[in-house]
Amino acid sequence: MKRLIIGTAGHIDHGKTALVRAMTGLDTDRLKEEKKRGISIELGFAPLTLPSGQRAGIVDVPGHERFVRQMLAGAFGMDLVLLIVAADEGIMPQTREHLDIIRLLGINQGIVVITKKDLVDEEWLMMVEDDIKEYLATTELKEWPIITVSSTEGAGIPELLRLIEELSAQVQEKSALGQVRLPIDRVFSMTGFGTVVTGTLWSGRIRLNDSLQILPQEIPVRVRTLHVHNQKVEEALAGQRVAVNLQGVDTSDIHRGNVLAAPGFLSPTYRISGNLRLLKNSPRPLKNWTRVRFHLGTDECLGRVVLLEHDELQPGEHGYVQIVMEEPVVCTRGDRFVIRFYSPVTTIGGGVVIDPHPPKQKRFNEAVLEEMAVKEEGDLEEVVLQELNKYPDRIISVDDLAAAINHNPVETRDVLKILCEQGLIEQLKVENHDLYLSSLGVDYSIQNINRMLEDWHKKYPLRPGFPREELRSRYFKQYPVKVFNALISLLEAKGVLSADSKYIRLPGQSIEPDRDAVKAIKRVMEMLDKNPLAPPGLKEIQEEIADSPYDPAEIIAYLEESGQIVKVAEGVYYSRTGVDLAWSRLNEHFDEKRELSLAEARDMWETSRKYTLPLLEYFDRIKYTKRIGDNRIRITR
């Protein structure tokens, strides 16, 4: 059966709570003050069973002008609205304000319910009905059906229930496929259970023992028990009124306006970009940097409106804005919001969130306005491409991208496949995960790496390339090693560079020492080979070629990389001839004896302890020998 949330709206004392009681048998006024004064002050909730047996949730809102903030907290999750108008009074100020809010929130399914028909005659009832039709005729809600009832006598209640069921077929059900998101409208504690929060589940599904978090505080919690329609369940789905018993948080740490969500799905923000429409009946224009009350979900906070394309927003106009919050809010692309003047408190407009985490933008900037237009009106392909181009050096997963644009991961993956086929984005395979970046991002990486490699080869012409890990840690540290390696493989496949396990270089780059380098190399090798088992120290080598145009360190690095010399210890280099000679004599010794002492090695190599010990330790490092006590044994042949 379809999951459905029905809400009431209308002026104070027009019979909203009495109607809910007539339909459900439950009184949603639970507070002592509400019963004493006979008016609703807080949100009320009740389950409703329709004639077919389908269950729905009802949210009953206060009608007094002082409690519009409570009304807003309940209105955001409604699928279908019962706009209540008392037959003895007709349309009143809060009827109009509630209707404005309904329209701003984009709730297009509803019924106008004229209550208290038993208090007026037929002629008066017809006049009230005509007034309502005339008022609705100027709005997009003009097709809403009108029904008359008496909550005290029960007249019209069965017909209303059947009409609700008929219209519910046209309601688009909230998706249970997405991530968990539940704006909290009530927090309380139950003996033996602890903290309980309630709300309308906007998306996803909640299961027992799920790990979730409270936002914006980012408090981790775990689900202990769940109730839907006052019944214990193991799973709650989007579109249901849910009571969640939470472990890991006290009631004092959370309040109405917080959000229960999947970890990592949403993050708090102090700034949003959106398209704001000012109501035609707004009492005055909206000026730049006006302080307003911002309502989204069950949350209300203060903020200031930055008009990005107007000096002043006139009643009935709309435009792109940023709203800078005084406290963090939690939202995502496509969310609707309502704003009210800070003082006097009046509903003046609302709109849609285009970007929940925008940078600070300059006013009257055409590029900014164009980007917002694409985000707002563009199809999914345009939105995905724009999001990837927004940060060209970002490599992102499907799930993270879907969360960034507030869209279903399955559909996002399908669009990414199309964009890959069109050559507009690139896919990277990292283990079993698919990652993506835009072609703009690839070009950005190509330009950067080309420049870095050109500079490197110019500075170090005798080196085989830029050390792979050094390049990543210095210039691409935002990427984990495996992601960086996948990017390098992609660029190598495009012929941009050449790479091996240690070095990255420009394609076709080879080391060809010039005449000056050859001279320096010859002098170093002659020094080392003159007495191969007692070579000169590093300082002597550097002094020998100090007059060369090349840095001595570069000559030594080239000789080591090309295998002509071997670094035996820090500052100690042997020619390959010297190492091979030492190895040959070592091998002959072990063919005759099992062990070798330091003194034996010194005599065998006809050198001093200064050279003998580093050379023995070198052979230990390359796993040819192994030290046991004061002696060495051979472990490989």
**CATH no. for residue 57?**
3.40.50.300
Cα dihedral sign, 185-200-346-292: positive
Q: Where among 512, 531, 563 does a domain terminate?
A: 512
Residue 45 lies in a domain: yes
CA distances from 74 to 70, 213, 241 (A): 7, 22, 11
Whether 537 and 616 map to the same domain: the answer is: yes
Whether 13 and 130 map to the same domain: the answer is: yes
pTM of the model: 0.69
Strand partners, 306: 322
Of residues 568 and 70, which shows the higher confidence score?
Answer: 568
Whether 145 and 276 map to the same domain: the answer is: no
Residue 57 lies in a domain: yes
Q: Does residue 28 contact residue 20 with C-beta atoms inside 8 Å?
A: yes
Whether 526 and 557 map to the same domain: the answer is: yes
Residue 175 lies in a domain: no
Residue 447 lies in a domain: yes
Measure the CA angle with vertex 78, ends 77 and 83; round to 5°.
145
181-204 per-position pLDDT tens digit = 999 999 999 988 899 999 999 999
* Residues in Cβ contact with 628 at an 8 Å cutoff, skipping those fewer than 6 apart: 595
Tell me: pLDDT of 40 over 80. Answer: no
Whether 312 and 459 map to the same domain: the answer is: no
Report the C-alpha gap between 353 and 158 in whole angstroms. Answer: 39
Q: Where among 466, 484, 512 does a domain terminate?
A: 512
Mean pLDDT along residues 452-458? 93
* Domain region containing 216: 181-261
218-263 per-position pLDDT tens digit = 999 999 999 998 899 999 999 999 999 999 999 999 999 999 999 9
Residue 101's pLDDT band, with cuts at 50, 70 and 90, is very high
Tell me: pLDDT of 39 over 90. Answer: no
Q: By CB neighbour count within 10 A (0-12 exposed, 13-18 middle, 19+ buried), where does 119 fall?
A: middle
133 three-class SS = helix
* Domain harbouring 605, CATH code: 1.10.10.10
Strands (E) across 230-317 are located at: 231-233, 235-237, 241-247, 259-261, 269-278, 286-287, 290-296, 299-307, 312-313
286 three-class SS = strand
Whether 504 and 549 map to the same domain: the answer is: no
Residue 104's pLDDT band, with cuts at 50, 70 and 90, is very high
403-422 per-position pLDDT tens digit = 777 677 888 999 999 999 99
Residue 201 lies in a domain: yes
Whether 133 and 215 map to the same domain: the answer is: no
Mean pLDDT along residues 379-400? 87
Q: How, if at all, do strands 110-115 and 80-86 pair?
A: parallel
**How far does Cα 516 stand from its chain's mean position?**
56
Whether 24 and 132 map to the same domain: the answer is: yes
Whether 225 and 360 map to the same domain: the answer is: no
Q: Where among 318, 348, 369 does a domain terminate?
A: 369
Q: Which two tokens stand for residue 600?
A: 């034996």
Whether 527 and 433 map to the same domain: the answer is: no
Whether 153 and 120 map to the same domain: the answer is: yes
Report the C-alpha gap between 205 and 342 in whole angstroms. Answer: 36
Residue 536 lies in a domain: yes
Tell me: pLDDT of 540 over 70. Answer: yes
Whether 403 and 323 map to the same domain: the answer is: no
85 three-class SS = strand
121-159 per-position pLDDT tens digit = 999 999 999 999 999 998 889 999 999 999 999 999 999
Alpha helix stretches (DSSP H) within 140-244: 157-168
Tell me: pLDDT of 515 over 60. Answer: yes
Residue 176 lies in a domain: no
* Domain harbouring 186, CATH code: 2.40.30.10
Residue 37's pLDDT band, with cuts at 50, 70 and 90, is low
**Mean predicted lDDT score pLDDT of the chain:** 91
Phi, psi of 523 (to 5 degrees): -65, -40
Strand partners, 11: none
Residue 173 lies in a domain: no
- Total domains in the chain come to 5
